[in-house]
Structure 1
Amino acid sequence: MVSTSPRFGRSVVVTGAGAGLGRDIALGLAAKGYIVFGTAMSAAEALDLRDASGGRVSLTVCDVTKAMGVEAWASGVTEALGAAGLNLLINNADVLTQGPIEILLLDAIRHEFEVNVFGALSVINAFLPALRKARGRIVQVNTWMASLPLPFSGPSAASHAAIEVFSAVYRAELKPFGVEVVVVTTGNMKTGGSAKTSALARIANGMTSGQRKLYGKTLGTFAKGLSSMQAVSFDSAATAAQVIEIAEQHPAPSRAVVGADAEEMLRATHESPTPGGMHSA
């Protein structure tokens, strides 16, 4: 449950804050004095963040694909914030579905869109009244694959491309209310990269002999290339620090890039990031 005790100072909501990048973002913002709300996958994650932050992070176990659960959580946070409203929403929760599109279950692809697209929309819409009160900011964490899709990553690329388009539309629709929308494109992280290679290994191990004949060689080559990218992957905490810097940047950029690999990949799509690990547009 969300605490309804009086809150002071700047406020932030971080989805997917129980582990990985979201956890580091939540802790980083708490260290800067923010009151942090967010979602976790388990009660254990929520307790861990409460203790690690000295009580400044309040996570709720919430499945963002369940609209009623999102609305109940957002209502509790909004009540706790009161007239001050919400200063910052960082949409970070996502899932990864990898493998040849031909052999992926459609239900798995649907779930990717339920989390990465419809879940994100549900969270944004639920917090818009509080964001309007504070003339706050939405930060949508995204991936470079939205601009440069790779083989065996179709659902992830497509879902992130979709939320990038929705973010652009939100930016235009919410501008009259003083609510800003920033898309932060991140590169590979050590935690995220290992998850990707593990997912590919599970796909390979689950293939039938016929599927392995069709895709086994190219999937193996792709997995090796992905593993080599780990050598230049960003640490999650370092990525979180840059996401926080962008989230507080004024004036707000419409888009920003974190990670040398993300910059390199976006150059291939005629982007022009500036040196130093971040690009603002």
Structure 2
Amino acid sequence: MRTRFRKSGRSVVVTGAGKGLGREIALGLAARRYIVFGTANSMREADDLRTASKGRVSLAVCNLKNAATVSAWAAGVSEAVGASGLDILINITTHLSPAPLELVSPEEIRQGFEVNVFGGLAVINAFLPALRIAHGRIVQISSWASESPRYFDGMSVASQAAMDAFATAYRAELRPFGIDVIVASMSDLEAAGAQATTALAQIDHSMTPEQRRLYGARLRVCMEKLAALGAQGAPTSVAARVVELSIQRHVPPKASIDEDAEQLMRCIREQTDAELNSLRTRLAGPP
């Protein structure tokens, strides 16, 4: 999977750049004269973003669950940036499967980890040679909920928490090579809207009467909240904050990229377990 795009400035890779938050980040960096590479779900997304960015964003349709495909794509990008190396890697892993854990199949959990963890690790490792050349930076997009899971979010936040732990390990191992690693937490990952609502609707449809008695009311409240979230789209302010974190000289190892995430992270640090349980209940809605 070779790219014919040749580097003429600082470079960045953004996974999941075809839509939502990833798209806004890619456009924000392109506006700052970065050459942007990334992944999309379709050629339509890739062509649309190339046009919108006036040719400064080049996306490939890449299955992050396939290590060979990731390696081929990374090799093409690394060839394109050449001896200058890669300045920034922004890793967005957003496979979400909200459901009561009792009702989640082992295969669905495996799929979530394939994308969010193994896919994320494959991307990071594939670009490390190019990042070493440039003494670059890795920005791992995460969710505040990886610190304190919400109702019906266990699988998703478990995989996010795993990537947060890997990011911490990478930070220690890559510091000698001049590579920064940052975990950037937001209040809700941008894919939460339509993808998560569809997943919950499938769970709701397949529940037994007993499961519906146990989980039905709260599940429908979560569906309503997620549908509202999806209608809002990816906030431009969040993308702008990611862009700033990516390019500013000195950054903390962990940062919140929206006000809601900052407030929630403060609650996690300062509140008791009982207070956090009450907060989770308010976020999920009444049973």
| TM-score normalised over the length of structure 2 | 0.88
More moved, 176-185 vs 46-55: 46-55
Partner-residue secondary structure (3-state), 2:269: coil
Counterpart of 2:275 in structure 1 is none
Alignment of 1:49 with 2:49, yes or no, is yes
Question: Residue 21 of structure 2 contacts residue 190 of structure 2 at CA under 8 Å; is this kept in 1?
Answer: no
**Residues 142 and 189 of structure 1, relative CA distance in 2, 3 Å threshold:** closer
**Aligned pairs for 1:88-167 within 5 A:** 88-167=88-167
Deviation at 1:106, TM superposition (A): 1.2
Q: Which consecutive unaligned segments of at least 5 residues does structure 1 have?
A: 273-281
**Residues 34 and 190 of structure 1, relative CA distance in 2, 3 Å threshold:** closer
What is the RMSD of the two structures over their aligned residues, measured on CA atoms?
A: 2.2
**Aligned pairs for 1:57-76 within 5 A:** 57-76=57-76
Number of aligned residues: 271
Counterpart of 2:245 in structure 1 is 246
Deviation at 1:216, TM superposition (A): 1.1
Matching residue's letter, 1:98? P
Question: Residue 10 of structure 2 contacts residue 87 of structure 2 at CA under 8 Å; is this kept in 1?
Answer: yes
**Residues 79 and 190 of structure 1, relative CA distance in 2, 3 Å threshold:** closer
Matching residue's letter, 2:123? V
Question: Residue 143 of structure 2 contacts residue 160 of structure 2 at CA under 8 Å; is this kept in 1?
Answer: yes
Matching residue's letter, 1:270? R
Deviation at 1:5, TM superposition (A): 4.7
Question: Residue 188 of structure 1 contacts residue 261 of structure 1 at CA under 8 Å; is this kept in 2?
Answer: no
**Residues 5 and 51 of structure 1, relative CA distance in 2, 3 Å threshold:** closer
Alignment of 1:202 with 2:202, yes or no, is yes
**Residues 189 and 155 of structure 1, relative CA distance in 2, 3 Å threshold:** closer
2 CA distance for matches of 1:169 and 1:5?
Answer: 33
**Residues 226 and 43 of structure 1, relative CA distance in 2, 3 Å threshold:** closer
**Residues 264 and 107 of structure 1, relative CA distance in 2, 3 Å threshold:** same
Deviation at 1:3, TM superposition (A): 2.9
Matching residue's letter, 1:241? A
Q: Which consecutive unaligned segments of at least 5 residues does structure 2 have?
A: 272-287
More moved, 92-101 vs 75-84: 92-101
Deviation at 1:219, TM superposition (A): 2.1
Counterpart of 1:267 in structure 2 is 266
Deviation at 1:197, TM superposition (A): 3.8
2 CA distance for matches of 1:180 and 1:262?
Answer: 22
**Residues 192 and 151 of structure 1, relative CA distance in 2, 3 Å threshold:** closer
Identity %: 50
1 CA distance for matches of 2:234 and 2:80?
Answer: 33
Deviation at 1:190, TM superposition (A): 7.2
**Residues 44 and 210 of structure 1, relative CA distance in 2, 3 Å threshold:** same
**Residues 185 and 221 of structure 1, relative CA distance in 2, 3 Å threshold:** same
Bigger fraction of residues in helix: 2
Question: Residue 98 of structure 1 contacts residue 199 of structure 1 at CA under 8 Å; is this kept in 2?
Answer: yes
Deviation at 1:183, TM superposition (A): 0.5
| TM-score normalised over the length of structure 1 | 0.89
Partner-residue secondary structure (3-state), 2:102: coil
